[in-house]
Every structure is written in C-alpha cells, then in structure tokens.
Amino acid sequence: MLSSADVQNIRIQRYNPDSGAWYVQYVNLLEQPDYTLSHLDQVIVDAQQPSQQTVTVEGAVSSSEVYDSLSTTALVGYPSGRIFYQYYPGESMKQMLVSLSSRFLTVSDLEGAYLLRSGKRIPLNIQKILYGEDENQSMQLESGDTLLIPFTQRLVTVSGGVVRPGVFAYVPDKTVNYYLSLAGGLSDDAAYPTDLKVQGPDGKTLGLGDPIPPQRPP
C-alpha cells in the first residue's frame, strides 16, 4: 500500500444474497490484520485526507469526476464511493449538493440521505434541497460532517446461459441487451437457437425490446 493509504478505515462492501443488498463495513488493518474476506467482497482503500474544512460524502456516489455506468457496474451492484469535499466558510448544504450533483448515481437514494453531525442523525431529502423548497437548503456545512447517501437497491437478475450470471443494478429504460452485456453476453453452452425469456416482477413475460423493470424489494 502507499504511505498515504488510510489503513485504519478500509471499506469492505459485502453483498447479502438473501436480501439482495450491499452492506458497508470498516476494518482497521492495524487491529484486524487477519480479517477474513468473503466471496464477491469489494475492498476500497482511500487516501488519508486532511480533516479541516472537509465534509465526507459516502455511499451511492461516484468517487471520480467522470462516471461510466456500464464499465464501472460491478457484478452485483455499484461500489460504494467516498468523497472528501473541501468547502469554503459559510458554504450551504445546497451549494455543496449542486457541486456534487454530477456524482450521483442512478441507484442513489436521494430522498433517504442523512447527515451525521456531532453524534446526531439529520434526515435530508436531497431532491427537495436541489429542486424544491427545504429547510435544510441553507444549512451551513461544518468540519467533520458526514453525508451518507444510501443505495436504492433496485436490481435486475440475469441467469442461465450467460458468462457472468448474477444481480445487477437497475438502470431505467434499459432493455435486455443492456443487462446481457453486463453479464458478459451469452456463454458458449447457451442453447441454440437462443431462447431468451424476460419476466417482470409480477412473473409476467415481457417483450425482448421492452424496458426491463426492477425487482421488487425483498
């Protein structure tokens, strides 16, 4: 690891196949050097950042300025991101969110976000703060604030004769070809002629050109 690696806050993103959800936990490598990983775990090691005048934004956000939803979609969802946002004195919550709006993902639960400040949890509706009226729009940022944006956990399952069968993050208005590409395409042992079947969350058969709806939450 690099000397700037934050080894005391290594993020482990773990998939629970029973609930279809991602869970994020933190590991201190100095205290748990023999921590055991599980299948499909995603390990994120961030660089240490100065804490002064900084707000941490975590969860369903892209850590990079340019985001490609196809190339960075993981086998069973999107990786959790972390951004260290350096703000100027007097900057408001809305001003920060406007600056970060390009980092939000299709699976960002903008209505279920919350702020951790001095041990308190403050619910935030980012949609209203950005595009409507909300009392938290003018809230001034404080050093040490942590904004957490959950995943909506809307998923699509691809199974059968594909290269990487699994569960993928739902993207609105995408057809079967999009999810097949995420699954690596048809495998060598796929039946020929190809027999593709698409079922909605209610079990009804959909057309191959129809937009794919997400699974119902467990």
Give the model confidence (pLDDT) of 52-83 as tens digits.
688 999 888 887 654 444 333 333 445 567 88
Using alpha carbons, select from 183, 165, 163, 186 the residue that is nearest to residue 174. Answer: 183
Q: What percent of the chain has pLDDT over 70?
A: 83
Confidence at residue 86, expressed as pLDDT on a 0 to 100 scale? 86
Residues 132 and 60 grouped into a single domain: yes
Residues 107 and 51 grouped into a single domain: yes
pLDDT tens figures, 110-135 = 998 999 999 899 999 999 999 999 99
Q: Give the C-alpha separation, 13 to 162, whole Å.
A: 25
Res 149 pLDDT > 80: yes
Total count of domains within the chain: 2
**How does residue 153 score in pLDDT terms, banded at 50, 70 and 90?**
low
Domain housing 62: 46-149
Residues 140 and 175 grouped into a single domain: no
| DSSP E strand stretches across 87-200 | 113-117, 120-124, 146-149, 155-158, 166-169, 198-199
**How does residue 218 score in pLDDT terms, banded at 50, 70 and 90?**
very low
Res 195 pLDDT > 80: no
Give the angle 56-59-62 at the CA atoms, nearest 5°.
Answer: 85
Contact 161, 186 (CB under 8 A): yes
Residues 116 and 197 grouped into a single domain: no
Q: Higher confidence at residue 118 or residue 199? A: 118
Residues 94 and 173 grouped into a single domain: no
